[in-house]
Structure 1
Amino acid sequence: MSGQRRSPRLKAKVFTHPWESGTAILPDESLISIFSFLPIKSRCRAARVSKRWNTLMKDKSLWKNVSITGNVKNRNLNKVLLFVQTYLSDNLETLVLHHVSNKILQHLTKNCPKLAALSLKGKDLKTTDLAFLPPHLMELRLVSYQFAANWYCSLTQGLLYQIEKLEVFCPHITNNTLGHLATLRTLKSLQLVSCRSSVVDESEGTYTERGFSCLVEQLTELRVLRFQQCSQLSDTAFYRIGSSLTKLEELTLHCCCNITDVGLKHLKNLQSLKILDLGGGSPVSPEALMGVVHELKSLRELWIFDTDYIRQQHIDEIKINEPRLIVHVKDRWDSLQF
């Protein structure tokens, strides 16, 4: 059979899309402008229409702000990596990924120096080493029900030297976690979601008022602080907030059921505060609440609902006495969810 001539391999047929023939006369700039309106998946498909489209689709202006979401099976994670390697380069500024790996983070670190905001979501965070995160990030969001053990250590070893905004959805926040996050002195916005601690026991993956106080005392540059499930916080925590976070502009503490009038009064020191959200279940008296909001001259929004003592008549009185203030009697946390 060696004397027989081999049949040449069939070349892949070039798929000519009707759009391609109809847009042939358009200049490159016009096509790139059209491509910018396409979702990510459609862009990838359009890149296969012709060599010209494939080349134009790699224009850096198309990949400045990217969101790759949706379900991806493990075997397709390599496709995400290939996409990242093909299209994401030194023009990328913001990126949302629902699937991530160490190789993806390494590519971002090496090739995307302008990347300032990164959002990572999904079970892949359990097997991903956050030590590979780009060190130049200014905003980071981490969302997962499963993290690698001691994931927070990678964030606090001098890696994120200019981080200003951190949002974490993680059911296992401990005092150790808060202690490490407290070393991120450049933080101006911190949101921790689902910090459950109905049982004050670090072995159960909880945090206590001691850990919270440590965090507040160290992060004195904070402008925004949002905590969910704060049932373990008492008046002492509010004292720490009032004395340490004097630059705070937004304070959201969900389910502060142990705060009293004494603790609430410590917030009078927050003269830059614009938004105060005490969530539901706060047992403070209407007199104490009205006294505090009157002292907070910069306050513009008050969120409170499901309280023991504050009724609609008290809300109406606040609105009359503080006309600058918008009072919301509903749960704001849903709009802050991940």
Structure 2
Amino acid sequence: MVCESDGQYTLDILTDDALLHIFSYLNILDRSIAARVSRRWNCLAKQGELWRNVNLNNGIHTYSETSQSYYILSYQEAAILNLINNYLGPCLRHIQFHIPVTNKILRLLALRCPNLEMIDIQGDPSKVDLSLISCKLITIYLHLPLESVKRSPIGKFALFPLFRLENFYLQHGQVTDKLLCRLMQSYNLHSVAFEGCHWQLKPYKIALMSLCLPELTHLELVSCQFPSYRFLNRLVHHVATKCTHLESFILIQPSSMDGAPADCSSLIIEICDQKNLRHLQLGGIHGLTVEAVVLMSHSLPNLTDIGFIHCHVTNDIMKEISHGFPNLISLDITGSKCLSNIGLKHLQKHANIEILKLASCENLSCDVIVDTVLTLPKLHTLVLPDTTNYESCVEILTSKKPKLDILNAGLLNP
């Protein structure tokens, strides 16, 4: 509050810019309440610059004067339509729903928010027609119902005009040749992520993945099911050889319909054809060998971020990682239960390591962790294993490297 000469507190003497700055820190509920204070506040609260990014992750809230309580109207179409009508406009660029939306909502968004660039929604693909607003979209996040995994996620997706699309994320659903052909409409697609999806491509159409994504820089495949691991290897080979701009590749917990185990080394051999790769993260895949890591060090000179999560990193593999990648900045070896103090010592005095994640590395002693960390001059983030035995480790590191950000694996979200 601002105090006037007569001792009364008021906000009226603040400039419009000062009030707008204050309003920018308010959530949707508080902002809508502020709009009811006065005509001036109502006008300011509806300024477009306050509504460039809207997150409806927790739904729309309203306030009841009779019961003096807040009501969550997360799934009330009328509440969302009212918000769009009264507050959102041409300035809106990003909106996140995380709740089911309807075509009526999308139609109003298209009318009121012609400059919308990013949308993050949940919904049934057979009922949601994103072609209503997709002309100018740059980023699309689709969170489909889990049952969509067993059927096509496209729905009316075939009608999408996606000329400006740069980022596409699909959770649950089938990856088919029709879906990839639709993505071919965008010549600027840089980032693609599939999570929990079933790949239904025929083997001879694997090349579509690389042909439709010539400018791809980031590919993420998390908990996806493939027809076979031979299919996955061919897919990685096509992407590595044809997507010449690929810089980041993430493959976590793949599975196959034939039940055969994935082989980490064979996947590394395929991805080594991509000379521009900077970020590589593999998770939940067995079969990592020293020979595969040596091949990586010779074939991927630009690699600065490595993640082998639950891939059974051994002492010998750690030695090759430490010596073979002098430009390494980030290393994630979560779940390396075979790694001992001898292996971690190989990392000592590495000149460029900034981020080190050791979650679930149960065979490492506190003394060796401390000694290793103190020899890494650029390290600023450290994830420790989830055990109470490392409390003394934290105390020592905090006193000797006060700027180090230390995280405990038990406090992190899985």
1:321 aligns with 2:369: no
Q: Structure 2 vs 1, CA of residues 160 and 225 (structure 1 numbering), >3 Å: closer, same or farther?
A: same
Match for 2:316: what amino acid?
V
Q: Once structures 1 and 2 are overlaid, which stretch shifts more, 176-185 or 274-283? A: 176-185
**Distance (whole Å) between structure 1 residues aligned to residue 297 and residue 303 of structure 2:** 9
**Distance (whole Å) between structure 1 residues aligned to residue 193 and residue 355 of structure 2:** 25
- Secondary structure of the residue that 1:322 maps to in structure 2? coil
- Secondary structure of the residue that 1:144 maps to in structure 2? strand
**Distance (whole Å) between structure 2 residues aligned to residue 328 and residue 47 of structure 1:** 42
1:225 aligns with 2:286: no
- Which residue does 1:166 correspond to in 2? 219
**Distance (whole Å) between structure 1 residues aligned to residue 85 and residue 46 of structure 2:** 18
What per-residue deviation string (whole Å, max 9, x for no partner) do you get for residues 241-278 of structure 1? 22222211211111232x43333222222122111111
- Which residue does 1:14 correspond to in 2? none
- Secondary structure of the residue that 2:332 maps to in structure 1? strand
What per-residue deviation string (whole Å, max 9, x for no partner) do you get for residues 35-65 of structure 1? 545557655455678xx9959843322x111
**Distance (whole Å) between structure 2 residues aligned to residue 334 and residue 191 of structure 1:** 24
- Secondary structure of the residue that 1:96 maps to in structure 2? strand
Alignment gaps of 5+ in structure 1: 1-18
- Which residue does 1:129 correspond to in 2? 179
- Which residue does 1:148 correspond to in 2? 200
Alignment gaps of 5+ in structure 2: 1-34, 57-76, 91-107, 145-151, 387-408
**Distance (whole Å) between structure 2 residues aligned to residue 114 and residue 308 of structure 1:** 47
**Distance (whole Å) between structure 2 residues aligned to residue 222 and residue 95 of structure 1:** 24
Q: Structure 2 vs 1, CA of residues 305 and 121 (structure 1 numbering), >3 Å: closer, same or farther?
A: closer
Q: Structure 2 vs 1, CA of residues 336 and 124 (structure 1 numbering), >3 Å: closer, same or farther?
A: farther
TM-score by length of 1: 0.73
Query: More relative contact order in 1 or in 2 (CA 8 Å, sep 6+)?
Result: 1
Contact 2:180–2:209 (8 Å) recurs in 1? no
- Which residue does 1:139 correspond to in 2? 191
Contact 1:105–1:133 (8 Å) recurs in 2? no
| Higher-strand-fraction structure | 2
Q: Structure 2 vs 1, CA of residues 37 and 130 (structure 1 numbering), >3 Å: closer, same or farther?
A: closer
- Secondary structure of the residue that 2:338 maps to in structure 1? coil
**1:217 Cα deviation from its structure 2 partner:** 1.8
**Distance (whole Å) between structure 2 residues aligned to residue 175 and residue 251 of structure 1:** 24
**Distance (whole Å) between structure 1 residues aligned to residue 355 and residue 51 of structure 2:** 41
**Distance (whole Å) between structure 2 residues aligned to residue 66 and residue 333 of structure 1:** 33
Contact 1:60–1:89 (8 Å) recurs in 2? no
- Which residue does 2:292 correspond to in 1? 237
Equivalent residue runs for 1:168-207 within 5 Å? 168-169=221-222, 170-172=224-226, 174-184=229-239, 185-195=244-254, 203-207=258-262
**Distance (whole Å) between structure 1 residues aligned to residue 109 and residue 347 of structure 2:** 60
| Alignment size in residue pairs | 300
- Secondary structure of the residue that 1:220 maps to in structure 2? coil
- Which residue does 2:314 correspond to in 1? 260
Residue number among 342, 357, 360 corresponding to 1:303 in the alignment: 357
**1:188 Cα deviation from its structure 2 partner:** 0.6
What per-residue deviation string (whole Å, max 9, x for no partner) do you get for residues 79-136 of structure 1? 411xx2222222x21111124844644444x3x3221111111235479633322443
- Secondary structure of the residue that 2:371 maps to in structure 1? helix
- Which residue does 1:80 correspond to in 2? 128
1:312 aligns with 2:394: no
Q: Structure 2 vs 1, CA of residues 34 and 284 (structure 1 numbering), >3 Å: closer, same or farther?
A: closer
Contact 1:97–1:120 (8 Å) recurs in 2? yes
Residue number among 303, 309, 320 corresponding to 1:248 in the alignment: 303
- Secondary structure of the residue that 2:346 maps to in structure 1? helix
- Secondary structure of the residue that 2:268 maps to in structure 1? helix
Match for 1:147: what amino acid?
W
Identity percentage of aligned residues: 15
**Distance (whole Å) between structure 2 residues aligned to residue 336 and residue 148 of structure 1:** 31
Residue number among 110, 118, 121 corresponding to 1:68 in the alignment: 121
Match for 1:303: what amino acid?
K
**1:161 Cα deviation from its structure 2 partner:** 0.5
- Which residue does 1:208 correspond to in 2? 263
**Distance (whole Å) between structure 2 residues aligned to residue 306 and residue 254 of structure 1:** 10
Contact 1:66–1:95 (8 Å) recurs in 2? yes
- Secondary structure of the residue that 1:327 maps to in structure 2? strand
Residue number among 91, 95, 114 corresponding to 2:140 in the alignment: 95
Q: Structure 2 vs 1, CA of residues 38 and 231 (structure 1 numbering), >3 Å: closer, same or farther?
A: closer
Match for 1:98: what amino acid?
H
Q: Structure 2 vs 1, CA of residues 335 and 155 (structure 1 numbering), >3 Å: closer, same or farther?
A: farther
Equivalent residue runs for 1:322-337 within 5 Å? 322-325=376-379, 326-330=381-385
**1:310 Cα deviation from its structure 2 partner:** 1.8
- Secondary structure of the residue that 1:60 maps to in structure 2? coil
Q: Structure 2 vs 1, CA of residues 205 and 144 (structure 1 numbering), >3 Å: closer, same or farther?
A: farther
Q: Structure 2 vs 1, CA of residues 37 and 251 (structure 1 numbering), >3 Å: closer, same or farther?
A: closer
